[in-house]
Amino acid sequence: MNANQVLILARKHLGNGTMESSARLCLADAVRLFDDGDHDAAKSRALKSLQYSVGCFHEDFAKASS
């Protein structure tokens, strides 16, 4: 998945985890990085947001991190 697709997926899963504030912070960082043109770092932060929202064993996290 590219950075934009991971951002969309992370946004979709907001509100699903116990670490909501951390997920939102990571996603905000990801959006800023994406807008600044640093797509690799944006993808990394969006993945971290997903990890906070759904966990690292969730199917969507596995799909996004490959």
Q: How many degrees, rounded to 5, is the angle at CA 60 between CA 24 and CA 3?
A: 65
Q: What are the domain boundaries of the chain?
A: 3-65
Q: From the CB of residue 65, how many other CB atoms can be counted at a distance below 10 Å?
A: 14
| pTM of the complete model | 0.92
Q: How high is the pLDDT of residue 29?
A: 98
Q: What pLDDT shows up at residue 66?
A: 85
Per-residue pLDDT, 24: 96
List, for residues 3-62, the tens digit of each pLDDT value: 999 999 999 999 866 789 999 999 999 999 999 999 999 999 999 999 999 999 999 999
Q: What is the pLDDT of residue 18?
A: 77
